[in-house]
Amino acid sequence: MRRTGRHRLVRPDDGPTAQTDPDNIEARLLGRPATMGRREVSRGAHVSLMSARKFWHALGFPIVQDEDAAFTEADLMALKGVAALVREQQFDEQTALAMTRAFARTTDRLAVWQTQLMAEVLAAPELEAALDEADSRAVPDLDAARAAAVKLADLADDLEPLLVYAWRRHLTAAIARMLADATPDESGEGVTRIVGFADLVNFTSLVRRMTERQLAVMVQRFEALATDIVTAHGGRVIKTVGDEILFVTVEAAPAAAIALDLVDTMAEDDLLPDVRVGMAYGRVISRLGDVFGTTVNRASRLTAVAPPGGVLVDDALAASLASLSGFEMTALRRRTLRGIGQVTPSELRRARGERRPTFREVHP
């Protein structure tokens, strides 16, 4: 037996079945098979059973019984690391658990995303044939799942530096935003942002007509295009939920450019339906990577009443855009939005005669 990379165990006599055995995949990714129970791990890390259980739950995993050999050397080292954070960095336990929970929620979605992506890539010819026969499945077959498992185990050591690099890059950007938002005193509640929602028109009816695979391809394409547009203009994608994307910007001009590019790009795409966009300007509460507050709710309600292929903005954002060239707005009738009250929305468009390159022309 020989070790390659940081965690991977490679057995020269491993055949295809052994390579895809769950225990073998676990050993390759975590370094060794699971041989320790929770009492052994807590003793090794010099923490109480209760603290060990809290850490395990913060990672997002279910209760483990005393007799279950569910833990590896990697679990022991991670628990030691959390204990060291509390002891040496003067964190309290709740802060350490909150940090752990942040990593867990993010990496859980990342891992699911990557396993599904790899299975789809490796099963692409079969799935395309299934699409032609209108008999597609969103869940990969056993051969594709096995191939994806082996491929991801092979790539883990190469992907790990990219994960750390991306985290450090985003941490740098988050710190810069935090410092820019900081106020001399504590009088301000939340931060000022432009909040935007974009959702696919008639998505519910499309769901009824499309196969699971066709629906997955459409949603994936929408998310990829929308994310590229938002980030190209310096905005941040807060989250995507199927047919909808939530984004924020600091300045008004990038927000307007994002909204109009979203509308134009989706209209030009043969696979995607039109989108509608609603945006609002005001203070938001930023917490756990998400944003909350009346401004977010107002943007959501404006999206719901926006016409297909249209962009609606609230009066505060309309006032900020009024002095900027390249855009024009038409004030619409005053209306009552559920849970918000009366609002006078404006429809945002590019200025007449304004010829701007499409997003695809700039980012082929």
pTM (whole model) above 0.85: no
In the structure encoding, which two tokens stand for residue 328, read together? 């024009």
The Cα-based distances of 188 to 183, 287, 349 in angstroms read: 7, 15, 33
- pLDDT at res. 315: 92
pLDDT of 355: 57
Any idea which residue has 């929770």 for tokens?
A: 38
pLDDT of residue 352: 79
Of the candidates 118, 116, 256, the residue with the CA atom closest to the CA atom of residue 198: 256
pLDDT reported for residue 207: 80
> What's the pLDDT score for residue 339?
78
The predicted pLDDT at position 342 comes to 82
| pLDDT, averaged in runs of 10, over the chain (364 residues) | 41 49 76 84 90 88 80 88 81 86 91 88 59 46 84 92 94 90 67 94 83 82 91 92 91 95 91 93 89 93 92 94 89 85 89 64 56
Q: Judge contact between 81 and 44, C-beta under 8 A.
A: no
Question: What b/e sequence results for 50-86 when a residue is b if at least 16 CB atoms lie within 10 Å of its CB, and e otherwise?
Answer: ebbebbbebbeeeebeeeeebbbbebbebbeebbebb
Residue with tokens 């977010």: 296
At 110, list the tokens: 């990342």
- Are the CB atoms for 222 and 326 separated by under 8 Å? no
Q: What angle do CA 230, 216, 286 make, to 5 degrees?
A: 40
Q: Which of 215, 251, 223 is nearest to 235 (CA)?
A: 251
Domains of the chain: 190-362 (3.30.70.1230)
User: What is the predicted pLDDT for the residue at 9?
Assistant: 42
Q: So what's the pLDDT on residue 5?
A: 42
Name the β-bridge partners of 200.
275
272-284 per-residue burial string, b: 16 or more CB within 10 A, e: under 16 = bbebbbbbbbbeb
- Say if strands 275-287 and 311-313 run parallel, antiparallel, or are unpaired: parallel
Among 13, 17, 69, residue whose Cα is nearest residue 38:
69
Q: Is the dihedral of CA 105, 116, 138, 360 positive or negative?
A: positive
- Number of other CB atoms surrounding residue 330 within 10 Å: 10
